[in-house]
Amino acid sequence: MRDHGLFGLHESTIVVIGAGSGIGESIAIACGQQGAHVVCADVNEAPARAVAARVKETGGQAEAAALDVRNAQALAELFDRLRLQRGGLDGVVSTPGINVRKPLLAYSEEEFDRVVSVNLKGAFNVVREAGRVMVEQRRGSIVMFSSIRAITVEPGQSVYAATKAAVVQLVRTAAVEFGQAGVRVNAIAPGVVETPLTAPIKANPAWYEAYAQKNVLKRWASADEMAGPAVFLLSDAASYVTGSLLLVDGGWTAADGRFQPPGM
């Protein structure tokens, strides 16, 4: 993917959090291809460095940073450094999320706290600290990752689904509060995506196929298929898009029921 036109990110500074693997990795590489200086941030620095090297190999500019979204001070320090060293912070994409698949009645308080601390507190920290810098500079785009589980659930997804729904409302509130400063805030809701985190599902053929059949395209998404929507929301092509939830789910949430009426 290389455009440098309406969807281009030439000379922009974009932080991709969770860039060490999966969706974040694909987005970081795509941003580099569109001309951005990409900061590949991840809780594990070694994979982030490897992805930054891949961005450079494809002709982009990149650096790596160790970053835990639960650490608001670390986020503030990174964003402030970029503002000083690079003259601004143009975009932030945040992909980290964890899940404990377990029935609600079996959930422990420790598991609840762990999922909420990454998925919701981490999202809050990213939006607040990126928003603080962007509102002051009066420009920028924040892209948060939610999930189709913000809309539709299944057994064992209680806390994960609750946090992903909360991310949507956090994004909408930030869009309202930051809008007059020219800062846009949006969320992406993927369906089923082949990443290292979903490898256990892929290893179970029946589970994997059941998920494939739930969407209208009858297949899983690749991580690369999340990059285009993220680049769109970061770019000037989405200059009038804010407070939105972009469903990238292969039509999963569009379909209601699977019965094929006669003659159809």
CA 30 remoteness from chain centre = 14
Dist CA 18 CA 166 (whole Å): 19
Q: Contact 245/189 with Cβ under 8 angstroms? A: yes
CATH number of the domain within which 37 lies: 3.40.50.720
Q: What is the pLDDT of residues 82-92, one digit of tens each?
A: 999 999 999 99
Confirm whether 136 is domain-assigned: yes
Is 107 part of the annotated catalytic residue set?
Answer: no
Confirm whether 202 is domain-assigned: yes
Confirm whether 168 is domain-assigned: yes
Tens-level pLDDT at each residue, the chain (264 residues): 555 678 999 999 999 999 999 999 999 999 999 999 999 999 999 999 999 999 999 889 999 999 999 999 999 999 999 999 999 999 999 999 999 999 999 999 999 999 999 999 999 999 999 999 999 999 999 999 999 999 999 999 999 999 999 999 999 999 999 999 999 999 999 999 998 878 888 899 999 999 999 999 999 999 999 999 999 999 999 999 999 999 999 999 998 766 666 766
107, 160, 211, 240: which one is catalytic? 160
Cβ contacts of 144 within 8 Å, gap of 6 or more: 93, 94, 123, 126, 127, 167, 170, 171, 185, 186, 187, 188
Domain that holds residue 155: 13-246
Confirm whether 261 is domain-assigned: no
Confirm whether 263 is domain-assigned: no
Q: What is the pLDDT of residues 180-224, one digit of tens each?
A: 999 999 999 999 999 887 888 889 999 999 999 999 999 999 999
Tally DSSP H helices, then E strands, for the chain. 9, 9
Dist CA 258 CA 181 (whole Å): 45
Confirm whether 257 is domain-assigned: no
Confirm whether 42 is domain-assigned: yes
Helix (H) or strand (E) holding 77: helix 72-86
Give the CA angle between residues 184, 187, 192 to the nearest 5°: 155
Reference 250, options 210, 209, 208, 221; nearest CA is: 221
Reference 192, options 176, 174, 216, 167; nearest CA is: 216
Task: Give the pLDDT score at 258.
Answer: 63
Confirm whether 30 is domain-assigned: yes
Looking at the structure of the chain, the number of domains it has is 1
Dist CA 79 CA 160 (whole Å): 27
